Amino acid sequence: MATATFKFNTTNKSPQGDVTQDCVTYYGTVTFSASGDTYATGGLLPLTGFAMANLGPYANRTPLYVDFQSTAGSGWWYQWNYGTGKLQIFGGGASGAATTSNIEFSNATALSGGTPSIFADTVNFKIVFPKTIS
């Protein structure tokens, strides 16, 4: 099985996002490569040509804010790792205790191997970039 990747798909919301004097915001969904592709510890890299920098103007800068949400209510937590440029996926610990952190999805597990399936999840994103660099 191949290592999974993902791609950003912008929506036509405010045609492609919001543009203010200081920031550009992109909205969209995430598409995962294939249900049988496997997760790699540390996160998934974007598919070549569909990286964050390919979203549009100003997207080649360090984002001010990145948010991913499961709109299906899957319970999976999606987090952007600024240092590695990867999308990490976390789930609740087996104990269910409110005092333990979430656990990263298991290495070499197919995206369809989670409960519920990560591949079948609907994931939206919001990313904000500065228009100027200080």
Could you tell me the residue ranges of all domains in the chain?
5-130
**Of 56, 46, 62, 40, which is closest to residue 108 (Cα–Cα)?**
40
pLDDT at residue 97 tops 80: no
Q: Give pLDDT tens digits for 37-94.
A: 999 999 999 999 999 999 988 999 999 999 999 999 999 999 999 999 999 999 976 5
Separation between Cα atoms, residue 74 and residue 117, nearest integer Å: 8
Stated pTM of the model: 0.88
| Token couple for 13 | 């919301």
Q: Give pLDDT tens digits for 118-128.
A: 999 999 999 99
